[in-house]
């Protein structure tokens, strides 16, 4: 699945216009405060209005006061598996979402609703995942996990990563006892090394209710909370992408350069794109180095004052 275009009219925080997003690595670039994250969340809003994961954004919050009309238009590209799933021969489907309200009853909307309302990346179909800017590990924290709660896939709350370390540790221990499954801990370990060369996920343990992931960095053995913030980002992305089996999917990533030094940002984004080449990455970024890698790049000059 690929998002090819987004069109906006009378949407608060998004300038009216038609935006080309047809690429594997897409950047929405602008200075801080230009509305790049708002742009990504508009994509998530349009998707949820057509087919929902049970994440319920407030449509009223997106309606521009005084506008004659408010809507978001989208155009999507389907792969062969998604065509078979929806029973359509069309390679592209379009939908327009009225705000507040919902999608207009046009040709192809029912097929899109069927496709966008499911989160199952098996069989060649894809999903959508939002990585908010304030994503952070909370070592030892328990709570709802993104791997278990579908309504969290497009949530902008950083708390959706609570419990992720615990699940990884339990999966690691289970794999040692019963054998590795596709997308299991060894797959995640390889993904971590691809994203952060030299960092190796060694083992996991649960003792007295405390979950610990152990890593090797050269000759140093350390826990998750002892890793550098950029290394923690690598572990988080590897865990979510491999844990959810994200393939043929759209990844909406706010501030992909978070915690990476400027010389490392381009390498990091290339590695992230190469981790699963069937995914489309749409990045909200203020980094010139990241924007230069993307094709196409949407440039937002300033925040929409409306």
Q: Are strands 210-217 and 220-223 parallel, antiparallel or unpaired?
A: antiparallel
Handedness of CA 195, 188, 149, 280 (dihedral sign): positive
* 181 pLDDT higher than 60: no
Least confident of 34-43, 115-124, 210-219, 227-236: 115-124
Query: For residue 17, which phi and psi values (nearest 5 degrees)?
Result: 160, 175
Is 0.75 surpassed by the pTM of this model? yes
Q: What distance in Å separates the CA atoms of residue 159 and residue 151, rounded to the nearest whole number?
A: 13
Q: What distance in Å separates the CA atoms of residue 183 and residue 137, rounded to the nearest whole number?
A: 20
CB atoms < 10 A from the CB of 244, how many? Answer: 17
Q: What distance in Å separates the CA atoms of residue 267 and residue 258, rounded to the nearest whole number?
A: 13
- Is residue 197 very low, low, confident or very high in pLDDT (cuts 50, 70, 90)? very high
Can you spell out the DSSP letters for 127-146? -EEEE-TT----TT--S--T
- Is residue 142 very low, low, confident or very high in pLDDT (cuts 50, 70, 90)? low
Query: What DSSP designation does 155 have?
Result: -
Residue spans of alpha helices (H) in 51-126? 80-86, 109-116
Instruction: Give the per-residue pLDDT at 178.
Output: 61
Handedness of CA 225, 150, 203, 188 (dihedral sign): negative
Biggest alpha carbon distance in the chain? 64
Which residues sit opposite 222 in a β-bridge? 215
* 237 pLDDT higher than 90: yes
- Report how far Cα 143 is from the mean position of its chain's Cα atoms: 20
How many Cα atoms occupy the beta-carbon half-sphere of 242 within 13 Å? 27
Q: Which residue has the tokens 């929405």?
A: 28
**pLDDT tens digits, 125-136:** 889 999 999 987
Instruction: Give the per-residue pLDDT at 140.
Output: 59
**pLDDT tens digits, 25-38:** 999 999 988 999 99
Instruction: Give the per-residue pLDDT at 145.
Output: 66
* 208 pLDDT higher than 80: no
Average pLDDT in the 37-62 region? 89
By the 8 A CB rule, do 190 and 241 touch? Answer: no
Domains and CATH numbers, the chain: 1-127+246-306 (3.40.50.300), 133-244 (no CATH)
Query: What DSSP designation does 34 have?
Result: S
CB atoms < 10 A from the CB of 68, how many? Answer: 7
């Amino acid at each position: 699945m690929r998002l090819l275009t987004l069109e906006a009219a009378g949407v608060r925080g998004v300038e009216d216009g038609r935006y080309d997003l047809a690429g594997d690595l897409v950047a929405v670039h602008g200075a801080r405060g230009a509305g790049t994250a708002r742009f990504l969340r508009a994509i998530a809003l349009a998707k949820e209005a057509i087919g929902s994961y049970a994440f319920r954004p407030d449509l009223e919050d997106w309606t521009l006061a005084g506008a004659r009309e408010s809507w978001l238009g989208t155009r999507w590209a389907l792969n062969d598996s998604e065509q078979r799933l929806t029973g359509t021969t069309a390679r592209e489907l379009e939908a327009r979402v009225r705000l507040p309200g919902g999608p207009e009853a046009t040709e192809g909307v029912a097929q899109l609703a069927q496709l966008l309302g499911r989160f199952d990346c098996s069989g060649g179909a894809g999903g959508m995942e939002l990585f908010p800017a304030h994503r952070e590990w909370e070592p030892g924290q328990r709570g709802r996990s993104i791997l278990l709660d579908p309504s969290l896939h497009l949530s902008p709350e950083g708390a959706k990563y609570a419990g992720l370390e615990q699940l990884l540790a339990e999966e690691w221990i289970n794999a040692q006892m019963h054998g590795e499954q596709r997308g299991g801990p060894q797959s995640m370990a390889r993904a971590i090394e691809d994203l952060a060369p030299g960092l190796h996920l060694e083992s996991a343990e649960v003792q007295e209710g405390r979950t610990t992931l152990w890593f090797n960095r050269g000759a140093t053995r350390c826990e998750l909370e002892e890793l550098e913030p950029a290394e923690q980002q690598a572990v988080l992305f590897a865990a979510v992408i491999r844990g959810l089996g994200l393939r043929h999917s759209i990844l909406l990533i706010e501030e992909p350069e978070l915690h990476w030094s400027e010389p490392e940002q381009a390498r990091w984004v290339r590695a992230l794109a190469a981790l699963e080449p069937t995914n489309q990455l749409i990045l909200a970024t203020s980094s010139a180095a990241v924007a230069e890698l993307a094709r196409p790049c949407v440039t937002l000059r300033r925040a929409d004052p409306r």
